[in-house]
Amino acid sequence: MLRKWAARTVARLLKEHYSSAPDSFDSLRASGLVTMGRCSGGEAVVHVYEGENGRVIIGDFTGLGAYVEFLVGGGHRVDWISTFPFRMQLGLPGALEDGHPITKGDIVIGHNVWIARSAKILSGVTIGNGAVVAAYSVVTRDVRPYAIVAGNPAREIRRRFSDGQIEALEKMRWNEWPMDKIIEAVPLLCSPDVEEFIRRYGDGATASAAYPDGTQATSNTATGNAGALERGRTSVAGTD
Ligand SMILES: CC(C)(COP(=O)(O)OP(=O)(O)OC[C@H]1O[C@@H](n2cnc3c(N)ncnc32)[C@H](O)[C@@H]1OP(=O)(O)O)[C@@H](O)C(=O)NCCC(=O)NCCS
Q: Encode the chain (240 residues) as per-residue pLDDT tens digits.
A: 445 444 443 333 333 334 345 567 888 888 889 999 999 999 899 988 887 888 999 999 999 999 999 999 899 999 999 999 999 999 999 999 999 999 999 999 999 999 999 999 999 999 999 999 999 999 999 999 999 999 999 999 999 999 999 999 999 999 999 999 999 999 999 999 999 999 999 974 444 433 333 333 333 333 333 333 333 322 333 444
CA of 207 to the centre of ligand 1 (A): 33
Residue 132 CA to ligand 1 centre (angstroms): 10
Residues 108 and 194 in one domain: no
**Domain-located, residue 218:** no
Residue 88, H or E segment:
helix 86-90
Q: How many domains does the chain have?
A: 2
Sheet holding 114-115, edge to edge: 63-64, 114-115, 132-133, 147-150, 155-159
Q: Rounded to two decimals, what is the model's pTM?
A: 0.80
Residue 156 Cα, ligand 1 centroid: separation in angstroms? 11
Residue 73 φ then ψ, to 5°: 160, -135
Same domain, 139 and 187: no
Are the CB atoms for 107 and 47 separated by under 8 Å?
A: no
Count the alpha carbons within 13 Å of 19 in the hemisphere toward its beta carbon: 8
Which numbered atom of ligand 1 lies nearest the CA of 66? Answer: 48
pLDDT at 41: 92
Q: Are residues 103 and 131 in the same domain?
A: yes
47 is catalytic: no
The pLDDT, as a whole number, for residue 214 is 38
237 falls within a domain: no
CA torsion 161-173-171-240 (nearest 10°) is: -20
- Give domain status of residue 67, yes or no: yes
State whether 27 and 86 are in the same domain: yes
Residue nearest to atom 1 of ligand 1 (CA): 134
pLDDT confidence of residue 93: 97
> Whole domain around residue 187: which residue ranges?
162-208
Give me the pLDDT at residue 23, please: 66
Q: 111 and 198, same structural domain?
A: no
Answer yes or no: do 78 and 156 share one domain.
yes
If asked whether residues 175 and 91 sit together in one domain, one would say no
Query: Beta-carbon neighbour count of residue 186 at 10 Å?
Result: 9
Q: Are residues 182 and 94 in the same domain?
A: no
Assess whether 43 and 139 both reside in one domain.
yes
Which helix (H) or strand (E) segment is 14 a member of?
A: helix 2-18
